[in-house]
Amino acid sequence: MFAEIFRRGGIFAEEAGRFRGTVAYDGDMTRGDDRFDIVTLVVRAREGDIASFEALVDEYERKLLRFAWRALGDRQDAEDVVQDTLVKAWRSLDALAEPAAFGTWIYRMASNRCTDVLRRRTSRPSEASDPEDLGHHVDGAASVERSVEARTALEHFSEILQTLSSEQRVTWVLHQMEGLSYAEVAETLGISEGSVRGRIHRARTAIAEGMEGWV
């Protein structure tokens, strides 16, 4: 017995297009010679298909790692955020109402975790990432001891980023480094565009003032 409900491909193309227009994360995944759309992969993963989830991990893991690393300045912390985010995603796929919004959804989870990590850090100099060791686990004491003249603009910039609030920093990284529009950042973080604009403005002002004379 067959029940045939044929929904026009056009409607779904439209919906998929809306999500692609808002947040540029999603595309077709490759699985061997086959391409599975994001909705199929998420629905299958949500029903326990590990292979489909692997394809999602393959697509998002590196992007998320790069984002978390840029936001946190510490590789180990970034890996922890990505691991926790993707495992949580696997365990709570049922909570995702729109499979097509998977990209936005995990970026939101990763952003929230990054914000939490940044908030938990105390503002001791030893917590600051040493720009020379960018990408490695850090002991910032050395940078404090170096003379001001020896610091490069990049190192100074990295220190300025440390002074931003957790929310400002994560928001700013999403916009300036991940290349998301204000609307996309708003959707990712689940806040209003106005809030995004405010955070970015304050971040930019702090960075501009901090970098005065360095650029």
Cβ distance to another protein smaller for residue 53 or 102 = 53
Give the Cα-Cα-Cα angle 17, 22, 27 (nearest 5 degrees).
55
Least distance to another protein, CB of residue 69, Å = 4
> What residues make contact with another protein under the rule CB under 8 A?
1-7, 9, 12, 33-37, 39-40, 43-44, 47-50, 53-54, 57-58, 61-62, 65-66, 69-70, 79, 82-83, 86-87, 90-91, 134-135, 153-154, 157-158, 176-177, 204-205, 207-209, 211-212, 215
Least distance to another protein, CB of residue 48, Å = 2
- Do residues 196 and 189 make contact, with C-beta atoms less than 8 angstroms apart? yes
In a 3-state reduction of DSSP, which class is residue 154?
Answer: helix
Cβ distance to another protein smaller for residue 84 or 190 = 84
- Backbone phi and psi for residue 32, each to the nearest 5 degrees, phi listed first: 65, -130
- Backbone phi and psi for residue 40, each to the nearest 5 degrees, phi listed first: -60, -45
Burial class of residue 50 (count of CB atoms within 10 Å of its CB; 0-12, 13-18, 19+): exposed
Residue 167 and residue 187: Cα distance in Å, rounded?
15
Cβ distance to another protein smaller for residue 145 or 209 = 209
Cβ distance to another protein smaller for residue 141 or 211 = 211
Side chain identity, residue 163: T
Cβ distance to another protein smaller for residue 43 or 190 = 43
Give the residues across from 35 on adjacent strands: 30
The alpha carbons of the chain give a radius of gyration, in whole angstroms, of 20
Cβ distance to another protein smaller for residue 23 or 45 = 45
Least distance to another protein, CB of residue 47, Å = 5
Least distance to another protein, CB of residue 142, Å = 17
Give the residues across from 36 on adjacent strands: 29
Least distance to another protein, CB of residue 119, Å = 21
Least distance to another protein, CB of residue 63, Å = 9
Residue 94 and residue 101: Cα distance in Å, rounded?
13
